[in-house]
Each structure stands twice: as C-alpha cells, then as structure tokens.
Amino acid sequence: MIFFKLDSIICDTPARAFVKNVKSHNGYFGCDKCAQQGEYLSSRMTFPLDTCSIRTDESFAQKHNEEHHQGPDPFQGLNVGMVSQFPGHYMHIVCLGVVRKLLNIWLSGALRFRLPASIFNRMSDCLTGLRSYIPLEYARKPRTLREIDRWKATELRMFLLYIGPVILPSYLDTNIYQHFMLLFSSIAILVSPTLSSLHWQYAETLLRMFVTHFGQIYGKEALVYNVHSLVHLAQDVRLHGCLDNISAFPYENHLQKLKKLVRKPEHPLAQMLRRFSEQNTQQNKIPDRTSVSLKKPHFVGPVPNELASRRVKGQYSQMVSDQWTIKVSTGDNIFVIAGDIGRIHNIVECHDGIYLVNRRFSNKSVFFTYPFSSDFLNIYSVSQLSEQYLSAKACAVAHKCVLFPHRGGFVSMPIQHSVKH
C-alpha cells in the first residue's frame, strides 16, 4: 500500500470551475477565492473591488455564498480543501492572462494606449536582436510582436521576468512602465523560493497596487478575472511555497519528452512504458554516474598561471551539472562568482577539481529604483569587463544570469524561475 497526501490541484480557471462544480469566471460570483459579486461592463465580467470577504474551506463546505455553487461538492468526504488546495495558476493568470493582455493593449488597444507603428517595429527588432543572449534554459527564443497571438506561456514569462524590464523604458511612458514594474517585482518575489517565503506580504501589497492602478489607467472594464486574481496569488504562495510549486510549467515541459517516446499512433501508453523501462535499464548499468559532466574538449582556451601549476588534465567548452549548464558561448557564460558578476571563458579540469576561467565586470550599479532598488533582486547594470583572467572552483558559482545589452553596457539578471523541470 502506498500512502500519499494531496497537496494541491493545479488546473486552469475553466477546468477549476468544472472540477469544483462552481460558477465560471465569467459569472457574477465567479471568483473562487473571494465572495465579490462581479460587475458587467463593456460586454465582460469585471471585479472592480480589491477587498472583499475571503472564501475559506469551511465557508465553501457550508455554502455561505450559494450563488457561487452550481451543485453538490464533487470532493465531499475526501478531506480536500476546496479553497486552500486549489491555488491560482500563474501560468494562465499572469503569463497567458495579464501579460498578454498588457501587450495587446499596447499593440492594438484603445488609441490612447496604443503604441505607434514605428515603436512597434523597433520593439520587434529589439526582441529578435536578443535571441543570442537567451540561455538554453529557455528552449524558445524571442519572436516578433507580430506573432504575439502565437506566443507560448514560456515566452510571456520570459518577457515579464527578463526582457520587459530592460527594453520597455525606451518605448513606454514612465507611468506605464512603472505600473508594469509593479507586476514584474511582485512576481519576481513570488517565483523565488527564498524571497517568496520571507516577503510574500510585500509582494501582495505590490500586486494590490498594480490591480488598483490597472483600473485607473486602463479603465474599470479592464479589471477582468485574471487581473483581479492577482490579489490572491500571494496567499497561495504562503500556503504552498513559490509559484513554481503550484505551476503547470513542469507538466507542459514534460509533454515534449513524452511525445518523443511515441513512434506510432497505436498503443501510445505501452510505447512510453517500454521506453521508460529501457531508460531505467541503461541507468542501472552505469552506477558510477557523476552529477557533473564535461563536454567539448579543446586546447585553445586561456589558462591562468595559477592553474598551470595544478597539473591541468583538460580544457572544455561546456559543463553540465544538476543545477545548470555552463558554456563559454554567449547566453550561457554569465554567472555570479564570489559575489561578482563574471563571464566564463574556459572550463579547466585539474587534479584537485574543476575551475572556471572568468573575467569580472568592474562597474556594477543598481538598474532600477522603483518600486524598490534592483539590488534586492540581485539585478544590476554592469560594464567594463576586466582584462585579467581569474580562476574559481566550479562550486563557487552562486547563480546563473541573463545578460542583456543596455545603453552602452549590460543588465545582469539572475535566472528567477525554477529550471529543474
């Protein structure tokens, strides 16, 4: 017998309403986190209030708000928290919901918010120009804004957490940009396993500010379900941990692995089981696998004098570990090493360990100051790469970073989202 405890049920908004047998998000009492009665404006259901009585597992079980329920509780008797164990799904609410809505407003919304065609084209060129700077943790590279309707959730997440804060100051009004930064800053906190546990209340305050200003800037009719749901995200993080703990991104990413296991349309499940069995057999034959592998040997990289005396065994262009992949090529060679931001130029294996040959950026300053200083998220403007080659053991690496060109220098941002999918 196998005993397990249900932690959370992750599904998008329509599926959550169907599974719980409650009103849909476009109904008058469609919010499954609070009892706010929606307001029908401009042919859409809106939720203009950011404070309302919060639903609890007990109030749901006792049906305090009868208008919210469509019928009997399907989970009755199973000891499942019908509110607490159904967290908001940030892949759909934030990425596919609010971020896409903002982009569509700027690109094709009302004339007072719409960007001119010249800026639209410049933004698209800027996005495609950043393709070489994207680390391999992102399988999808930036596409033009003309393809916004085909952007996947990972592309929208990349725009929110990395690209948007860097490129938008050049194209948006200051107030609009600062409003976007409220969303970026709060989600950056909630997606971090460390910061989310310490500062979820601060993130909740920022999200409430974002929702309030959203209605003031874009109108009350823009306060649809996805925008309103932002005010409840922090409470879900308080209960379940960072946003990646309650995200469908791992499932979506794993689908591509499952698809590759299927060779023909007949009996797909049997095919996947056979491939898994073959993989397990191969792994059992190699009991001495290490967590670090060195790839692409070469003989032309820089080797500082202190390493030459350590009896060099080999030089490599790529190192793969359980945490990340390190390369000497653009996009995967920027890391925080001993508190400094450095660019990796060589990977050297010596008899006493693996060393990273790197050069550090001499100038480091905060990148933004609103709604707080960027050093809180370890985001910096950097410039002037030192000419001196230094060496550091691979275990000294603290974070992998994304480095984007910006106004004659660069912006360094640690990878915020979980990459262990």
The HSE-up count of residue 378 (CA atoms within 13 Å, CB side) is 20
In this structure, are 218 and 357 located in the same domain?
Answer: no
Average pLDDT, the chain: 91
Whether 36 and 125 share a structural domain? yes
Tell me if 419 is assigned to some domain.
no
pLDDT (0 to 100) of residue 282: 64
Same domain, 260 and 305: no
Distances (CA, A) of 413 to 27, 229, 355, 378, 399: 40, 27, 23, 7, 10
> CA 396 to CA 394: how far, in whole Å?
5
Distance separating alpha carbons of residues 370 and 402, to the nearest angstrom: 21
> What is the spatial distance between Cα 35 and Cα 3, in angstroms, rounded to a whole number?
35
Q: Are residues 254 and 325 in the same domain?
A: no
Class of residue 386 by CB neighbours under 10 A (exposed 0-12, middle 13-18, buried 19+): middle
Q: Do residues 153 and 23 both lie within one domain? A: yes
Domain contains 79: yes
Same domain, 119 and 200: yes
Q: Is residue 270 part of a domain?
A: no
| pLDDT, position 22 | 94
On whether residue 209 sits in a domain, the answer given is yes
> By three-state DSSP, how is residue 235 classified?
helix
Residue 75 included in any domain: yes
pTM summary value: 0.91
Q: Which of 264, 283, 306 is the last residue before a domain boundary?
A: 264
Claim to verify: residue 137 and residue 200 sit in the same structural domain: yes
Q: Is residue 281 part of a domain?
A: no
| Domain shared by 43 and 136, yes or no | yes
The mean pLDDT of 29-41, rounded to a whole number, is 93
User: For 87-103, how does the pLDDT look when each residue is reduced to its tens digit (9 = 90+)?
Assistant: 998 999 999 999 999 99
* 370 lies in the same domain as 246: no
| pLDDT for the residue numbered 288 | 44
Mark whether 149 and 7 lie in a shared domain: yes
Domain end call among 226, 243, 264? 264
pLDDT for 103 equals 96
Q: What is the pLDDT of residues 47-71, one digit of tens each?
A: 987 678 999 999 999 999 999 999 9
pLDDT of res. 279: 79
- DSSP strand E in 89-197: where? none
Give the pLDDT confidence score for residue 260 in this predicted structure.
85
Q: Which of 50-59, 164-173, 381-390, 398-407 is the least confident region? A: 50-59
**Whether residue 323 sits in one domain with residue 237:** no
Is 271 part of any domain? no
Coil, helix or strand at residue 402: strand
Domain span at residue 231?
A: 1-264
| Total number of domains constituting the chain | 2
Q: Model confidence over 334-373: pLDDT tens digits?
A: 999 988 999 999 999 998 889 999 999 999 999 999 999 9
Which stretch of 133-142, 220-229, 230-239, 250-259 has the lowest confidence by average pLDDT?
Answer: 250-259
Assess whether pLDDT exceeds 60 at residue 285: no
Q: Does 277 map to a domain?
A: no
CATH number at 321 reads 2.30.30
Residues 189, 300, single domain; the answer is: no
Q: What is the pLDDT of residue 144?
A: 95
